[in-house]
């Protein structure tokens, strides 16, 4: 790689030596030179101004017309000098204020020429009244005042000098036409003096100049102090001039004479400001900029060296080298990192053939074919192997080729990256993916990968397909389990997704599914959120626990229900009674506990056997459930003993008693209806038995009792035995414990 340098160049070596020597000589003493130049210029300027003022003063004693003409000519010459100087140096003027001021002085000078030529006593234009030169004077001063008002707005810009000059020239021309056409009122009356129009116009011009001076003061930091002082003095003298021309009665008054002195000095100071900005300062600025440029060039060279070092380091870290091929001359250049990748020592002559010799023999033909296509404007982005000593490395090459107008390839510029580590990782990932795929498909546990948003199936293994009864083509990438109608309750997936969002994973979450043939199964899902191709997905492991749930439900049923009648047993009754007692305390509503015992049940068993007795118990259970509400409980607590638990009766004791007695009577009547009990045996005649049964009922009401549930059951049981002793088929309400 070539080292880049930024240097000063010239076709003439002597120019370079001159510039270097000048920089070395002038720069250290630049401030000192400026100081000397200021002092010398001050002396020359003061001397020149004194000479001009002396000439004018001497002319005044000869003839006033001579004095006036010389004063105006001096001012006109200075005005045109300002314009010419601004024209020549406007490209060096960085302050738009001076450009506007310089551009206006051509128009000001031209109008002053007309003022001078038409002045009283010149007699160049017979018949011209004294109003004409006075109106020309006002026109010139108005242009000057307008320039002073406009210039501050251009300080931070650089307006076009030619457009500014043309604009003031056009304005001056229009005003001069107005003077010639006598559109302005009279400004001077012989024997009387100045008219109000003339005086008011002068004060308007003074006001404009005052505003210009105020604006100049606001922007004083945009000027060199010396230039600002000259401009401010020029404006003050211009205002003094206008004030003097409001005081005279005839053209020969002292105020008129004093005004011309101030007028000359005003233009002279403006000229000096342009000279300082347009001539001397650019000269000094050239040397200052040359030294600054030299300093910047040195800094740039240092940065280039630093960037070159950083580039080399970056290429080493990224294992990315660069290369450049001059195709016409077959000259190949490699960066240091490219040489390291290919194992080529610095100084080795390189060519396209050198590169080809390092390509692995099995890849060489395809790489060179890709290069030939690149020479025909095809993209060149290829991965291939290279041989470095006894090692094989993988590289990726990207190139861009520039072509001549006739289509001939000129230069190839490209990068080469060592991707050996990436290829090794990719190979490892492929092997790992193959192993994981084998584990995924051979797992006896169903595994499903789906999107979090809508559940679309991304992958599903054979075990999961067997669980649902579908084939992979029917579901993969096309539908979700919800679309297949496999969820018994679709809200279960909403709960599952919500928990995954909150926790990121879940364990053994049971979900009810329907298989393809309509069989309901229960799958326990253990899932986790993962990111696939930028989308949130769920990996679900599904274990079929249908049989386990069936067994658990059966065990639960046997533990809490009577095996014959399917009614709650004593254990479940105790739990519900405790809950009803707590509810009654909170709500203040009474509840009732009925203890029932079938009358004459034993003779039926003795005569027809236990099978017929079981049929009677099943029928009685059905009738009891039909007599109560869904919220009430009917339980079997013994052979022919039942319990009915009524909850949430009235808050009034009497009303609650009435409600309980109504239900008890309904139960008594329902039980007493005749029963037809049919017993069927294979290979034998069917047995049908008609039986009438009655029931003895004991009732206990409670609302805010401090008794425990066993006490209530004992009280109801005692009330039932009291009903049996009083004749059976009787309802007895216990109002107090019965011995």
pLDDT of residue 16: 39
Contacts of 447 (CB under 8 A, 6+ apart): 440, 459, 460, 461, 463, 464, 539, 540, 541, 542
CATH 3.30.450.20 is the classification of domain 317-425: yes
Contacts of 157 (CB under 8 A, 6+ apart): 96
Q: Which residues pair with 402 in a beta bridge?
A: 411
Residue ranges matching CATH 1.20.1070 in the chain: 64-288
Q: Which residues of the chain have pLDDT under 50?
A: 1-39, 283, 285-286, 736-739
Strand 193-194 vs strand 520-532: parallel, antiparallel, or unpaired?
unpaired
3 state SS of 307: helix
Distance between CA atoms of residues 672 and 252, nearest Å: 152
Contacts of 370 (CB under 8 A, 6+ apart): 378, 380, 382
pLDDT of residue 642: 94
pLDDT of residue 17: 42
* 336-342-347 Cα angle (round to 5): 50
Closest listed residue to residue 117, CA positions, set 178, 69, 79, 164: 69
Joined together, the tokens standing for residue 381 give 């982005």
Give Cα 729 to chain centroid, integer Å. Answer: 85
Burial label, 723 (beta-carbon count in 10 A; 0-12, 13-18, 19+): buried
Q: Which residues pair with 575 in a beta bridge?
A: none
- How many CB atoms are located within 10 Å of the residue 184 CB? 18
Distance between CA atoms of residues 587 and 687, nearest Å: 51
What is the phi/psi pair of residue 698, to 5°? -115, 135
- How many CB atoms are located within 10 Å of the residue 364 CB? 16
Joined together, the tokens standing for residue 383 give 């991965």
Distance between CA atoms of residues 148 and 236, nearest Å: 12
3 state SS of 498: helix
Q: Domain 64-288's class?
A: mainly alpha
CATH number for 561-734: choose from 3.40.50.300, 3.40.1280.10, 3.40.640.10, 3.30.70.270.
3.30.70.270
Phi-psi region of 534 (alpha: psi -120 to 50; beta: other; left: phi over 0): left
What is the phi/psi pair of residue 332, to 5°? -110, 135
Burial label, 660 (beta-carbon count in 10 A; 0-12, 13-18, 19+): buried
Tell me if 105 sits within 8 A of 95, measured CB to CB.
no
Please, how many CA atoms are within 13 Å of residue 433, restricted to the half-sphere of its CB? 6
Joined together, the tokens standing for residue 654 give 């009497």
Closest listed residue to residue 733, CA positions, set 684, 665, 670, 671: 665
Distance between CA atoms of residues 653 and 704, nearest Å: 12
Closest listed residue to residue 622, CA positions, set 601, 649, 642, 647: 642
Q: Which residues pair with 676 in a beta bridge?
A: 690
Tell me if 105 sits within 8 A of 83, measured CB to CB.
yes
Distance between CA atoms of residues 120 and 131, nearest Å: 10
Give the total residue count for the chain.
739
In the DSSP assignment, the letter for residue 120 is T
Closest listed residue to residue 672, CA positions, set 603, 596, 732, 591: 596
Residue ranges matching CATH 3.30.450.20 in the chain: 317-425, 443-551
In the DSSP assignment, the letter for residue 414 is E
Phi-psi region of 547 (alpha: psi -120 to 50; beta: other; left: phi over 0): alpha
Closest listed residue to residue 523, CA positions, set 565, 481, 564: 481
Report the greatest alpha carbon distance in the chain: 173
Distance between CA atoms of residues 521 and 512, nearest Å: 6
Burial label, 376 (beta-carbon count in 10 A; 0-12, 13-18, 19+): exposed
Distance between CA atoms of residues 401 and 374, nearest Å: 7
Tell me if 599 sits within 8 A of 642, measured CB to CB.
no
Tell me if 315 sits within 8 A of 336, measured CB to CB.
yes
How is the beta sheet containing 591-599 ordered, strand by strand?
Answer: 633-636, 641-646, 591-599, 694-702, 731-734
Alpha helices (H) along 276-335: 281-318
* 304-307-312 Cα angle (round to 5): 125
Burial label, 523 (beta-carbon count in 10 A; 0-12, 13-18, 19+): buried
Query: In CATH, which superfamily holds the domain spanning 443-551?
Result: PAS domain (3.30.450.20)
Please, how many CA atoms are within 13 Å of residue 617, restricted to the half-sphere of its CB? 25
Burial label, 479 (beta-carbon count in 10 A; 0-12, 13-18, 19+): middle
In the DSSP assignment, the letter for residue 95 is -
Closest listed residue to residue 354, CA positions, set 372, 333, 384: 333
Closest listed residue to residue 464, CA positions, set 393, 530, 544, 520: 544
């Amino acid at each position: 790689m070539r080292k880049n340098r930024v240097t000063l160049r010239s076709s003439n070596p002597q120019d370079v030596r001159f510039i270097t020597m000048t920089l070395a000589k002038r720069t250290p003493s630049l401030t000192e030179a400026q100081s000397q130049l200021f002092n010398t210029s001050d002396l020359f300027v003061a001397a020149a101004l004194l000479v001009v003022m002396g000439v004018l003063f001497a002319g005044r004693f000869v003839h006033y017309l001579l004095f006036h003409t010389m004063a105006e000519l001096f001012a006109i010459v200075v005005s045109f000098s300002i314009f010419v100087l601004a024209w020549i140096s406007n490209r060096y003027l960085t302050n738009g204020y001076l450009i506007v001021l310089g551009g206006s002085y051509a128009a000001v000078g031209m109008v002053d020429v007309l003022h001078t030529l038409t002045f009283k006593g010149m007699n160049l234009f017979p018949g011209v009244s004294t109003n004409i030169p006075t109106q020309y004077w006002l026109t010139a001063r108005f242009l000057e005042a307008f320039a002073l008002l406009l210039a501050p707005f251009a300080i931070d810009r650089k307006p076009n000098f030619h457009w500014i000059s043309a604009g003031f020239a056009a304005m001056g021309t229009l005003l001069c036409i107005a003077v010639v056409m006598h559109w302005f009122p009279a400004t001077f009356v012989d024997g009387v003096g100045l008219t109000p129009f003339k005086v008011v116009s002068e004060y308007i011009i003074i006001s404009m100049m005052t505003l210009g001076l105020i604006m100049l003061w606001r922007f004083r930091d945009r000027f060199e102090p010396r230039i600002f002082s000259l401009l401010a003095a020029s404006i003050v003298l211009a205002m003094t001039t206008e004030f003097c021309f409001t005081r005279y009665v005839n053209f020969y008054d002292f105020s008129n004479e004093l005004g011309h002195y101030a007028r000359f000095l005003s233009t002279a100071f403006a000229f000096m400001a342009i000279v300082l900005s347009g001539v001397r300062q650019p000269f000094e600025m050239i040397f200052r900029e040359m030294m600054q440029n030299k300093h910047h060039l040195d800094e740039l060279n240092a940065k280039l060296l630093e960037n070159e070092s950083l580039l080399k380091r970056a290429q080493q870290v990224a294992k990315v080298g660069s290369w450049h091929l001059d195709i016409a001359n077959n000259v190949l250049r490699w960066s240091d990192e490219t040489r390291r990748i290919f194992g080529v020592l610095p100084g080795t002559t390189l060519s396209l053939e050198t590169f080809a010799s390092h390509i692995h023999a099995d890849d060489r033909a395809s790489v060179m074919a890709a290069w030939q296509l690149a020479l025909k404007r095809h993209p060149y982005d290829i991965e291939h192997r290279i041989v470095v000593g006894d090692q094989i490395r993988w590289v990726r090459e990207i190139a861009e080729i520039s072509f001549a107008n006739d289509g001939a390839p000129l230069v190839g510029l490209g990068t080469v990256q060592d991707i050996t580590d990436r290829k090794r990782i990719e190979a490892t990932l492929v092997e790992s993916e193959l192993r994981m795929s084998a584990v995924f498909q051979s797992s006896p546990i169903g595994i499903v990968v789906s999107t979090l948003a809508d559940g679309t199936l991304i992958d599903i293994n054979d075990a999961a397909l067997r669980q649902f009864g579908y084939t992979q083509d029917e579901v993969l990438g096309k539908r979700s389990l919800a679309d297949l109608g496999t969820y018994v309750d679709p809200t279960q997936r909403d709960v599952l997704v919500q928990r995954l969002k909150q926790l990121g994973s879940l364990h053994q979450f049971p979900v009810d599914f329907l298989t393809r043939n309509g069989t309901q199964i229960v799958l326990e899902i253990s899932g986790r959120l993962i990111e696939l191709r930028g989308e949130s997905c769920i990996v679900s492991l599904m274990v079929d626990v249908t049989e386990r749930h069936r067994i658990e439900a059966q065990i639960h049923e046997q533990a809490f229900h009577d095996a014959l009648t399917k009614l709650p047993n004593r254990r479940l009754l105790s739990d519900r009674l405790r809950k009803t007692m707590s509810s009654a305390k909170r709500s203040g509503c009474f509840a009732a506990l009925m203890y029932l015992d079938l009358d004459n049940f034993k003779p039926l068993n003795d005569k027809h056997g236990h099978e017929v007795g079981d049929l009677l118990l099943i029928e009685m259970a059905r009738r009891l459930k039909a007599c109560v509400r869904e919220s009430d409980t009917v339980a079997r607590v013994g052979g022919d003993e039942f319990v009915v638990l009524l909850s949430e009766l009235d808050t009034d004791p009497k009303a609650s008693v009435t409600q309980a007695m109504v239900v008890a009577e309904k139960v008594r009547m329902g039980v007493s209806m005749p029963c037809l009990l049919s017993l069927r045996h294979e290979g034998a005649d069917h047995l049908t038995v008609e039986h009438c049964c009655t029931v003895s009922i004991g009732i206990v009401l409670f609302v805010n009792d401090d008794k425990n549930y066993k006490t209530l059951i004992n009280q109801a049981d005692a009330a039932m035995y009291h009903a049996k002793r009083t004749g059976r088929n009787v309802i007895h309400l216990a109002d107090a414990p019965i011995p």
